Each structure stands twice: as C-alpha cells, then as structure tokens.
Amino acid sequence: MSGNVTSKQLLDHYARKVYADAAAAKAVGKPVGWSTAIVPQEFFETMDLPLVYPENHSAVISARKRALGFLERAEGYGYHADVCGYMRVNFGYLLEGARGDDDVPPAPVPDFVVCCNNYCTMIVKWYENLAKELGVPLFMIDMPYNPEGAVDEARVRYIRAQFDRLVGRLEDLTGRPFDRERFRRVMEISRENARLWKRAFELVGHVPSPANGFDFYNYLTLMVFMRGRAETTEVLRLWIREMEGKIARGEGPFRDAAEKFRIMFDGIACWPQLAHTAKAFRSYGINITGSNYPDGWAVQYETGDLDGMARAYASIANNMSLEKAVEKRVEIIRQGRCDGAVYHMNRSCKVMDFTTYEAQRRVFAETGVPYITFDGDQADPRVFVAAQFDTRIQALVEMMEAREESER
C-alpha cells in the first residue's frame, strides 16, 4: 500500500486481513491454529502456519459490545462467571457455532492450538479444554514463573528443549522440513519489530505526547498477530514517522484540547467501556503515556540465539517477581513522564490483580506519583460501574493538581 495512507488505516487493513487470510487458509484445507498472545510465533511463521489469537478475538468482540451473549452462553455450559472473560467469550463463540458477522471477526475453528503460559497460568486450562473439546493437538510451551525475578539456567535449558521438540512436531504436522534460513529471517524481522515497538514507546513519552489515549492498544494487534512479518515493520515505521512529525510540529495528542495530565494505565483496557473511559480521560485532558501491558510484546533477543530467545520469552513482566513488576512500572512512569497512575482491577486477570496492591504502594513510595484503582473487566460488561470510575478519576485529578501545586 502507498500514497497518503495513515498507519492507522494500514493497521485496520492488516487486522482485518489476518482473519480473512486464516479463513481462506482453512477453506483450502491448510491447518490453522489458535494461540495465546505472547507465543514464540517465530516457529509458526517459519512453517507458514496461520495463527489466530482468541484473546484478541474476544477483545474485539468486547469492544464492539457483543460479549454478553457469548459470556452467557459459556456460563450456561458450566463456566463460572469468576473465570477469565476472554476465555468465556471464546467458548461462547465456539458454542454458538464459530460464526463471524459485522462485529465478530470470523475466526475459523482451529486444527491445532498453541499455549505458552509466560504471562498467565489459567490459560493452560483454557487450552486444555480447547484441545479436548475440539479434538485437536495442543502444543504446550511451558515457561515456569520466576519467583526470584531471574530466568535461571535450568529454565533456559527446559525451554530450549521444548523449542526443539516443537520443531519436530511442526514438521510432523505439516510433512515439511523446518527451514532454518527462513527461521533466521523471521527472527530478524521479529527482532526489528520489537525494537520499533520499544522506539514507538519512547516517542509516546515525549511531552506533549504524539500518541492519543488508548492508541497503542490498537497497534498492539499487530504485535500479537504479525510480530514476525515485514508488514508490521511497515506500519510501525509509518507510525513512528507520524509521531516524529507531530513532535517536530509541537502537536499534542488531542486536536481540540491540551494534554493536561499524563498517566500510566496499568492492565488491559476495559474494552466493553472503552468509549466511557476514553471520554472521561479526555474530559480532564488526561492522556495515557505509559502502560505495563503493551510492553509485554517487546520481546528482544539476538537473531540466531535460541537461548536468548527462551530467556526473552520467559521474562515477560507477568512472569517475574513482585520486585521486577515494581521496577518495570517505575520505569514506565519515568519514561512516560506520568503525573498519575490508574490501576485497572480487572476481574478477569488474576495475574495482574494479585500483586497490584503491594506493587502500587511500592511504586508510589518510589515515584510519589498518585494513583487510583478501579474495578472493571477486559470483556465482561457487568463488572464496571461508571460512577465509581468517574469518582476515582476525579479524585486522581485532584491529587495530581495538588502535587503539581506543591511542586511549583
């Protein structure tokens, strides 16, 4: 694509194409997989095996306000309303016949599923159930939690051996040999995309920020779906150029208002109430300039270094100790030059929630940046209470103003 296309338009184009391509592959009898979001996609890209990501699929459905029907379907089947909303939407979608429409992307029923538990534990149960219910093979890539905040050698050896095993299983699945040369190229592209993704975040940290609100959650789609592809490099480069242009012109995130406050948004977006939360932020001139969430996809390693790759994938912030979680957030707040922090107590995501209270106390002690917590969910619209959110944001604004005042 060329001409005056914006990175956003290009992103939308590719995001749609991913589902269409998977459906087309399925139609001609090519195996299609479903995968967790931060999987070593390099292996599948190399083997030219299309992957669809149920978490992204559920997020899209939730943002388009279609989750409730699927949630209720899964709950009727026996899934407790306490478990992950993405998972319930996903099973609801399957139970409803896995059909797409204008709001629901047409994710084809998979021929295999891929699970990597480097940011979530319960996801193993999700994928076990998919494998059993659909009668398809499950490629489990286990990356044990790092309670001491470091990926030790025993873990690296274990993960490396799983990579080798995976290659063999993929060769069996496709009947084709694993192309090492192509693998190197995919690693190179993935590495470049991770570098660009990090670079984009540095630009988001500029004052005023060239990025707007939940912008980077949109670009994240690319990092989930196409981290190993040149198309992603194209979009990220364009996005970076656009942001550099805005910085050069001194333009902020909002057309009609100044960027008054900058915050770190901790956790996944509250997709069903995206419009409400974005509008509330904007009404106070609040912009999001940092988040722990997109950071997970900046997987960095040297091309050809499989041990490094194992270590990088196992070092996702969710898979590390409380101390590392605090360190990461302090870094995000500093890089994003944040005035405040908003912690989403996301009912679905126990990994992110269960150390939030202690983490936020420590982050505050280190940065002095005021924070609030609100209750919501990444998929289930029944959890969020608008009045609570609005009141807490108002309180945060007052705290940020008071801090600004005292520092003057």
Residues near other proteins (CB under 8 A) are: 77-80, 82-84, 117, 120-122, 124-129, 131-133, 138, 140, 142, 144-148, 152, 154-155, 157-158, 161-162, 165, 321-322, 345, 347, 350-351, 353-358
- In the complex, minimum distance from the CB of residue 279 to other proteins, in angstroms, rounded to a whole number: 26
25 versus 363: smaller Cβ distance to other proteins: 363
Q: Kindly state the tokens that stand for 224.
A: 């989930």
- In the complex, minimum distance from the CB of residue 145 to other proteins, in angstroms, rounded to a whole number: 5
8 versus 125: smaller Cβ distance to other proteins: 125
- In the complex, minimum distance from the CB of residue 119 to other proteins, in angstroms, rounded to a whole number: 11
- In the complex, minimum distance from the CB of residue 75 to other proteins, in angstroms, rounded to a whole number: 10
Q: Is the dihedral of CA 187, 192, 198, 204 positive or negative?
A: negative
Q: How far is CA 78 from CA 83, 287, 332, 381, in A?
A: 11, 40, 39, 19
23 versus 138: smaller Cβ distance to other proteins: 138
- In the complex, minimum distance from the CB of residue 307 to other proteins, in angstroms, rounded to a whole number: 14
Helix (H, G, I), strand (E, B) or coil at 184: helix
- In the complex, minimum distance from the CB of residue 144 to other proteins, in angstroms, rounded to a whole number: 4
23 versus 95: smaller Cβ distance to other proteins: 95
- In the complex, minimum distance from the CB of residue 76 to other proteins, in angstroms, rounded to a whole number: 10
> Rounded CA gap, 7 and 219, in Å?
9
> Rounded CA gap, 371 and 373, in Å?
7
Q: Kindly state the tokens that stand for 327.
A: 């360190």
DSSP state of 103: S
78 versus 175: smaller Cβ distance to other proteins: 78
- In the complex, minimum distance from the CB of residue 346 to other proteins, in angstroms, rounded to a whole number: 10
Taking phi over 0 as left and psi of -120 to 50 as alpha, with beta for the rest, 205 belongs to: alpha
- In the complex, minimum distance from the CB of residue 321 to other proteins, in angstroms, rounded to a whole number: 6
> Rounded CA gap, 178 and 171, in Å?
6
> Rounded CA gap, 389 and 278, in Å?
11
> Rounded CA gap, 375 and 11, in Å?
30
Segments in 252-355 forming alpha helices (H): 274-283, 292-295, 306-314, 322-335, 350-353
Which residue, among 206, 407, 193, has the nearest Cα to 303 in the 3D structure? 193
**Ordered DSSP codes for 364-386:** HHHH---EEEEEE-SS-TTS--H
354 versus 398: smaller Cβ distance to other proteins: 354
**Burial level of 408, CB count in 10 A (0-12/13-18/19+)?**
exposed
Report how many helices (DSSP H) and strands (DSSP E) the chain contains, helices first: 17, 8
58 versus 146: smaller Cβ distance to other proteins: 146
- In the complex, minimum distance from the CB of residue 391 to other proteins, in angstroms, rounded to a whole number: 18
Structure-token match 């139970």, residue found: 95
19 versus 112: smaller Cβ distance to other proteins: 112
- In the complex, minimum distance from the CB of residue 35 to other proteins, in angstroms, rounded to a whole number: 15
95 versus 278: smaller Cβ distance to other proteins: 95
Report how far Cα 389 is from the mean position of its chain's Cα atoms.
22
Q: Kindly state the tokens that stand for 39.
A: 């999987």
Which residue, among 149, 163, 165, 299, has the nearest Cα to 224 in the 3D structure? 299
C-beta neighbour count of 79 within 10 angstroms: 18
> Rounded CA gap, 35 and 55, in Å?
9
Which residues make beta-bridge pairs with 372?
Answer: 342
104 versus 352: smaller Cβ distance to other proteins: 352
6 versus 121: smaller Cβ distance to other proteins: 121
